[in-house]
Amino acid sequence: MTETVLIVDDDDIFRQTLSRSLERRGFATVDFSGVEAALAKIHSLHIDKAVIDLKMGSETGLRLIPALREQFPKASILMLTGYASIATAVDAIKLGADNYLQKPAGTKAILEALESKDKAATEVRSDEQAIASPSLDRLTWEYIQRALNDNDGNVSATARQLGMHRRTLQRKLQKRPVKE
């Protein structure tokens, strides 16, 4: 029986390209451009694997994980993001995601992440992928993300907690995460 992969991503080109690539590899795919659309339809679907984007406009893919886990407890769930941080990875795993992958990611990497459900999400697969100590800038980014999460996304409260001006924090948040 063909496995079905759910793809939820607001990037139309990425979503359609991934869908076609997976179909060429023998998977059936169902794709949605947002969390609400997916939530409205998942009860009528059968899903074996799911690839969910973290940030889709004002929506967060994290909202979809508990519903998928409840409806499809054996499904492999992968969280994809262009804004990777330890805080969001921990949130995704706590909610029930099996793996977490930073964009850009190719079909091969996505399939490997989906297939590694029984392995730890942070497992190192080879010496080339060994995790180096993060830079000070990366640690700063992680700390800011954790503080922002603790304050439920409230930038003003986070700025007060971190002892910095609100605009300074907003400028830091507008930048992409620092590479490891």
Residue-wise pLDDT tens digits, 63-89: 899 999 999 988 899 988 877 677 778
Closest CA to 62 of 26, 29, 38: 38
The structure's pTM equals 0.65
Q: 3-state class of 56 per DSSP?
A: strand
Take residue 154 and report the two structure tokens written for it.
Answer: 């409230």
Instruction: Measure the CA–CA gap between 120 and 179, rounded to whole angstroms.
Output: 22
- Max distance between CA atoms of the chain, in angstroms, equals 56
Residues 118, 62: Cα–Cα separation, whole Å: 21
pLDDT level of residue 114 (50, 70, 90 thresholds): confident
Mean pLDDT, rounded, for 155-178: 85
Distances (CA, A) of 165 to 126, 141, 156, 168, 169: 42, 16, 8, 5, 6
58 vs 157: which has the higher pLDDT: 157
Dihedral sign, CA of 121, 136, 105, 9?
Answer: positive
Phi, psi of 73 (to 5 degrees): -60, -25
pLDDT reported for residue 127: 40
Average pLDDT, integer, range 22-36: 91
Residue 32: Cβ within 10 Å count: 21
| Residues 118-164: tens digit of each pLDDT | 444 444 444 444 445 566 677 777 788 888 888 888 999 989 988 88
- Report which of 27, 177, 42, 3 is spatially closest to residue 107, judged by C-alpha positions: 27
For residue 30, the model assigns a pLDDT of 93
C-alpha 21/C-alpha 14 separation (Å) is 10
